[in-house]
């Protein structure tokens, strides 16, 4: 695992896919592009894995300030910074500032002096006018609301946008898009030494590898470690194996796992486990 993968795994997002290149590309914008606010658009299948990815990535970067706003929770979020009420020349109090404007104000304020990350989640639920406001903010670094103009520091602010639907075109053109898979796409060829195990467990891993290919999955290191632990201490029957695979591996389709098509591969794994444990054929047959 790369340093970024290890960091993200420690914050709850484990994947065989490495996203270091995406960061390097975003943080090395050419020429005038450096004047806009660095923005990462996170796409993926419609599950909260995108949110887990954003939070783990943000924590891994260890910026002093991490802000989060979910458009599905509009009106329910209290801001850390209470902005004073504004009144017009006649002394009439202006409309209350929205939670969205609050978090944008915080991002601008914090970015003046320190690195700041702002995650905007469920952006597809936002008013389309807010998409346009965000676009102008990324380009001009100024957030406008209720007659206020707040300046963001492009050197310190990093935006992450999460949406279940395509972004407003102009907003997409000024952001770097990354796809977060439901399960790891990269295949890893593990060896017994990766789990501090002896080579005699290799036949079990070979049989498991064939099974993973049929499932179209590649387990992460921690998932595989748990499965191998079960293989050494818990799995005796095919039903045990199926329970462990479904229990530990993210993205396993249960119908496929329990299908007749996979039965020859699961039987091979059980035979390899029995051979590894030194169980005789009588017990295998039972």
- 7-59 pLDDT tens trace: 999 999 999 999 999 999 998 876 555 589 999 999 987 668 899 999 999 99
* Degrees to nearest 5, angle at CA 79 with 143 and 58: 75
| Alpha helix ranges (H) inside 90-220 | 99-111, 128-140, 169-173, 202-215
> Residue 159 to residues 86, 162, 267: CA-CA distances in angstroms?
28, 10, 49
Q: Are 152 and 111 in contact (CB under 8 A)?
A: yes
Residue 96: what pLDDT? 74
- Does the pLDDT at position 80 exceed 70? no
| CATH 2.70.98.60 describes domain 3-180 | no
Total Cβ atoms within 10 A of residue 96: 12
Give per-residue pLDDT as tens, 165-186: 888 999 999 999 999 987 776 7
Provide the residue ranges of all domains of the chain, joining segments of one domain with +.
3-180, 192-285
Q: What is the mean pLDDT of residues 146-161?
A: 94
Q: Which structure tokens are listed for 83? A: 């902005």
- Does the pLDDT at position 115 exceed 70? yes
Q: What is the mean pLDDT of the chain?
A: 88
Q: What is the mean pLDDT of residues 116-124?
A: 96
Q: Which structure tokens are listed for 267? A: 């039987």
Comparing 89-98, 191-200, 206-215, the range with the smallest average pLDDT is: 89-98
The model's confidence at residue 241, banded by pLDDT at 50, 70 and 90, is very high
SS3 159: strand
- What is the spatial distance between Cα 54 and Cα 195, in angstroms, rounded to a whole number? 28
- Residue % of the chain over a pLDDT of 90: 74
């Amino acid at each position: 695992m790369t340093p970024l993968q290890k960091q993200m795994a420690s914050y709850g997002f484990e994947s065989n896919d490495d996203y270091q290149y995406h960061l390097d590309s975003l943080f090395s914008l050419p020429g005038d592009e450096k004047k806009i606010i660095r923005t990462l658009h996170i796409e993926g299948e419609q599950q909260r894995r995108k949110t887990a990815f954003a939070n783990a990535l943000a924590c891994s970067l260890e910026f002093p300030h991490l802000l989060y706003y979910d458009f599905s929770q509009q009106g329910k979020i209290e801001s850390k910074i209470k902005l004073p009420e504004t009144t017009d020349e006649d002394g009439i109090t202006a409309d209350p500032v929205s939670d969205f404007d609050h978090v944008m104000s915080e991002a601008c304020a914090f970015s003046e002096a320190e690195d700041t990350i702002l995650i905007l989640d469920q952006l597809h639920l936002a008013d389309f006018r807010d998409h346009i406001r965000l676009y102008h903010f990324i380009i001009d670094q100024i957030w406008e609301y209720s007659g206020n103009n707040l300046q963001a520091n492009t050197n310190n602010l990093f935006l992450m946008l999460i949406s279940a639907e395509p972004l407003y075109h102009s907003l997409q053109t000024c952001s770097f898009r990354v796809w977060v898979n439901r399960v790891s796409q990269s295949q890893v060829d593990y060896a017994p030494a990766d789990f501090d195990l002896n080579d005699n467990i290799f036949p079990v891993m070979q049989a498991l590898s064939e099974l993973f290919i049929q499932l179209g999955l590649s387990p992460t290191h921690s998932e595989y470690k748990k499965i191998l632990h079960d293989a050494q201490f818990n799995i005796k029957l095919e039903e045990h194996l199926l329970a462990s695979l479904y229990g530990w591996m993210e993205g396993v389709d249960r119908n496929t796992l329990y299908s007749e098509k996979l039965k020859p591969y699961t039987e091979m794994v059980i035979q390899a486990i029995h051979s590894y444990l030194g169980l005789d054929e009588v017990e295998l047959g039972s």
